[in-house]
Amino acid sequence: MALGGFHSIAYVLKKAWASGGVIAMWRAMRSPNACKTCALGMGGQLGGMVNEAGKFPEFCKKSVQAMAADMQGGITADFFERYTISQLSAMSPRELESCGRITFPLYAGPLDMHYKPITWNDALEKVSTQIKETDPNRSFYYCSGRSSNEAGFLLQLAARIRGTNNINNCSYYCHQASGVGLKSVVGSGTATVDLDDIAQSNFLFLIGCNPASNHPRLLKSIIDLRRRGGKVVVVNPLREEGLCTFHVPSDTKSLLFGSTISDLYVQPNIGGDSVFMLGIIKWLLEHDSINNDFVEQFAEGFDEVASQARETEWDWIVTHSGVALSDINQASEMYSNATSAIFCWAMGITHVKGGVDSVRMIANVAISRGMVGKVGAGLLPLRGHSNVQGMGTIGVAPKLYPEMETAIEKALNITLPSRDANFRGGDTMACMEASFDGLIDYAICLGGNLLGSNPDTKFAMKAMSNIALVSYMSTTLNQGHFLGRGVETVIFPVRARDEESQITTQESMFSYVRRSEGGLCRHEGPRSEVDVIVDLATRGIGTIDWERYKNHDNIRKLLAECISGFDPSHEHTLPDRHFHSPIFNTDTKKIKSHRVNLKSPTEIVGSQLRLMTIRSEGQFNTVVYEEKDIYRKQKRRDIIMMCKEDAIAMGLKQDDTVRVKGNAGELLVVVRYMDIARTNCAMYFPEANILLSHEVDVESRTPLFKGAVITIEKV
Ligand code: SF4
């Protein structure tokens, strides 16, 4: 089957046709706004479908799916009369997304069977009164990576001025381990490379990620790298066909004949990546292939890592990584021949216990060959949503950087609450736990689907239901609106970024800040997120002149006073994040190696397997655009993907129905054979969240969406 290719072209045309025609879709996609989907980034002032290097056309199915969702007609008021909350609760994410745009504020109280339209004034009054009357310590403020820097900055400012540091964003459930790990290695929590580095590189590690599904445009860069003679090693327990062969629609040769993506595909156990990486360092040591000049001049702590590699027996490495010695040898040899290597990773690394150490171990491998701190080489966490990195930059986190806190206080002549998070740290799971314990009375969610992105769905539902008032700012419906209701719930309909009447900004995974021009408002009713926040803050918080921030230029001027290198007027790359020479942002200016606590993949017995939750090709985060997953050749999502040998050993065959039991719940699903490392299995996110406990990784506070042990029973 052609992965990508003609299927993608046909799909895009079909989607465009259904969304008002190919011309309307073309106009929308070409408008000078940042892509609404992944953080690879395209669009902005250079025009839609253009990347920061000026290359055109840059778009994929996902960007079209997101655009099509925003181009839908409005939901009418009688829709909410026809459907009860419990009926809507039973709808799938895809069904809810395709109900249309929300165009008027909605309210549901404790006894309501239906959401009811309410006026903007009533909605703002209800929510701002709750903000005013709630002890700030009993509130939290959550932002998704869909929103703009302007809205995110203003919301965190409102929270702090109101008196709480319970401020967090969706990265706590995805790439937090990357930020924590990278900060401890290079002194900065973001990618050390820019887009141009990929074009200069001749070796790529893709570790615990699936860009074919989640960052499709990266595949073109990978194909170009291989055409230059470069090599690609994929490290993933599940053999993803899209990472083996891919048909890139914008490349005629690739479109017609397909392109090989991986030169070597390594399938470790879930959570076995760190041990595999240690094996590479051991091989390099044994083959005299360490870049000693780099290690001695520009790195600290590598001796400790080398000792750890020498002390660890090969048998232990093979058993605990789940990777055959021949694969470790081959990957190591290929890497040792590379002159410029980039390490990409995603949630296969950050969703496991010890994710921060896994990031550090990837960095150790880079350090061992001097593959960071030069052109064409470095560390690249593949971030999810289009502005998730921006949310961190502009302060949507429990703790502000001290310089930023001081700058805000000086600029506004105010004093912000303590620099220590004042409520159990205030990260996302801490706020969910506090809600579960009945300690939160008000919550606001700027975009996203907080309920759907949580593990332990029953816990998350209970937590949200304990909150006196939950307010959402949303463009379309999602399950959070129904299963994540508070005692009272208000939904504010907001504009998408390409409907704003003023410029907004978004930051890509390469620290490139794009300016989205906005555009024509598609529906009367939805308002700018910034306007809603200003109105709530004016009524419920006061203290400063919020109205002046309805002008986005004024927010960006304030951002420029608070963030070094933030340009309020132009698209730009944030400074001091990319390292093209071996001088880093650490106290000693050297890169830091870390000896890590190696985690063994969890022991399993009998009919147990280690589970990883994964996204499908037609899905973006919790939004499922298509039930079928063409890359894995699946037409349904209620499946467990396991290898044939494990299934046979358990007396199971393809299409058998099984009960999967996790720590927090159980699901009936169908067995599907898949090429996945033995003793491991995969199920779809967010459906499988119901199985998982809400335990988090200690250092990053990220829930363990991968690596939990599940038990399988035939029914
Ligand atoms: S790869 Fe990401 S940034 Fe590029 S078009 Fe697709 S969703 Fe948008």
Please give the full DSSP string across 354-373, using - where no structure is assigned: THHHHHHHHHHHHHHTT-SS
Would you mind telling me the total number of residues written for the chain in this entry?
A: 715
- Pocket test residue of 40, 344, 623 for ligand 1, highest count of atoms within 8 A of CB: 40
Nearest to 622 by CA among 481, 465, 415, 459: 481
Which pLDDT score, from 0 to 100, does residue 94 have?
86
39, 508 contact by CB (below 8 A): yes
In the predicted structure, residue 421 carries a pLDDT above the cut 70:
no
The DSSP bridge pattern shows strands 203-207 and 231-235 to be: parallel
- Pocket test residue of 215, 221, 246, 514 for ligand 1, highest count of atoms within 8 A of CB: 215
Could you report the per-residue pLDDT of 560-603, keeping only the tens digit for each? 999 999 999 999 999 999 999 999 999 999 999 999 998 777 78
User: Ligand 1: distance of its center to the CA of 212 in Å?
Assistant: 11
User: Ligand 1: distance of its center to the CA of 41 in Å?
Assistant: 6
- Pocket test residue of 15, 36, 49, 58 for ligand 1, highest count of atoms within 8 A of CB: 58
378, 371 contact by CB (below 8 A): yes
Distance from C-alpha of 215 to C-alpha of 383, rounded to nearest angstrom: 9
- Pocket test residue of 33, 35, 50, 70 for ligand 1, highest count of atoms within 8 A of CB: 35
In the predicted structure, residue 425 carries a pLDDT above the cut 70:
no
Atom of ligand 1 nearest to the CA of 62: 7
User: Ligand 1: distance of its center to the CA of 2 in Å?
Assistant: 20
Atom of ligand 1 nearest to the CA of 42: 3
In the predicted structure, residue 247 carries a pLDDT above the cut 90:
no
Atom of ligand 1 nearest to the CA of 37: 7
Farthest-apart Cα atoms in the chain, separation? 72
pTM (predicted TM-score): 0.96
User: Ligand 1: distance of its center to the CA of 284 in Å?
Assistant: 36
- Report, at the CATH architecture level, how domain 103-174+387-570 is classified: 3-Layer(aba) Sandwich (3.40)
Residue nearest to atom 3 of ligand 1 (CA): 41
User: Ligand 1: distance of its center to the CA of 512 in Å?
Assistant: 14
Domain range list for the chain: 5-70, 103-174+387-570, 176-382, 608-714
Write out the DSSP string of 27-47.
HHHHSSS--SSBTT---STT-
User: What phi and psi values does residue 549 have, to the nearest 5 degrees?
Assistant: -90, 5
Which pLDDT score, from 0 to 100, does residue 599 have?
75
Atom of ligand 1 nearest to the CA of 216: 1
Mean of pLDDT values over 8-35: 86
Mean of pLDDT values over 505-526: 96
User: Ligand 1: distance of its center to the CA of 37 in Å?
Assistant: 6
509, 382 contact by CB (below 8 A): yes
Tokens 């190919």 -> residue: 22
User: Ligand 1: distance of its center to the CA of 67 in Å?
Assistant: 11
Under the banding of pLDDT at 50, 70 and 90, the label for residue 2 is very low
User: Ligand 1: distance of its center to the CA of 64 in Å?
Assistant: 9
Atom of ligand 1 nearest to the CA of 508: 3
Which pLDDT score, from 0 to 100, does residue 4 have?
64
Atom of ligand 1 nearest to the CA of 218: 1
In the predicted structure, residue 417 carries a pLDDT above the cut 80:
no
User: Ligand 1: distance of its center to the CA of 222 in Å?
Assistant: 15
Which pLDDT score, from 0 to 100, does residue 423 have?
45
Atom of ligand 1 nearest to the CA of 620: 7
Distance from C-alpha of 417 to C-alpha of 410, rounded to nearest angstrom: 14
**Ligand 1 proximal residues by C-beta, below 6 Å:** 35, 37-38, 40-42, 58-60, 62-63, 215-217
Q: Say which amino acid occupies 58.
A: E
User: Ligand 1: distance of its center to the CA of 598 in Å?
Assistant: 34
Which pLDDT score, from 0 to 100, does residue 248 have?
81
Atom of ligand 1 nearest to the CA of 386: 3
Tokens 């898949």 -> residue: 674
User: Ligand 1: distance of its center to the CA of 26 in Å?
Assistant: 15
Provide the CA 179 distance to its chain's centre, in angstroms.
12
In the predicted structure, residue 422 carries a pLDDT above the cut 50:
no
Could you report the per-residue pLDDT of 207-222, keeping only the tens digit for each? 999 999 999 999 999 9
- Report, at the CATH architecture level, how domain 608-714 is classified: Beta Barrel (2.40)
Residue nearest to atom 5 of ligand 1 (CA): 59
Distance from C-alpha of 24 to C-alpha of 150, rounded to nearest angstrom: 28
Q: Considering the chain, what is the average pLDDT of its residues?
A: 94
Which pLDDT score, from 0 to 100, does residue 685 have?
95
Atom of ligand 1 nearest to the CA of 61: 6
Mean of pLDDT values over 623-631: 88
Q: 10 Å Cβ neighbour count for 106?
A: 23
600, 613 contact by CB (below 8 A): no
Which two three-digit tokens encode residue 212? 């074919």
3, 242 contact by CB (below 8 A): yes
Could you report the per-residue pLDDT of 110-167, keeping only the tens digit for each? 999 999 999 999 999 999 999 999 999 999 999 999 999 999 999 999 999 999 999 9
Which pLDDT score, from 0 to 100, does residue 3 have?
58
Atom of ligand 1 nearest to the CA of 40: 3
Nearest to 98 by CA among 472, 476, 474: 476
Share of the chain above pLDDT 70, in %: 98
Q: Say which amino acid occupies 344.
A: C
User: Ligand 1: distance of its center to the CA of 151 in Å?
Assistant: 22
Distance from C-alpha of 385 to C-alpha of 622, rounded to nearest angstrom: 11
Mean of pLDDT values over 377-393: 96
Q: Say which amino acid occupies 25.
A: M
Distance from C-alpha of 348 to C-alpha of 272, rounded to nearest angstrom: 10
User: Ligand 1: distance of its center to the CA of 554 in Å?
Assistant: 29
User: Ligand 1: distance of its center to the CA of 499 in Å?
Assistant: 19
Residue nearest to atom 2 of ligand 1 (CA): 38
Sign for the pseudo-dihedral over CA of 57, 61, 62, 68: positive
Residue nearest to atom 6 of ligand 1 (CA): 60
428, 448 contact by CB (below 8 A): no
Q: Which CATH class is domain 176-382?
A: alpha beta
Distance from C-alpha of 168 to C-alpha of 431, rounded to nearest angstrom: 9
Q: Which of 129-138, 456-465, 525-534, 622-631 has the lowest mean pLDDT?
A: 622-631
Which pLDDT score, from 0 to 100, does residue 522 have?
93
- Which DSSP symbol is given to 437? T
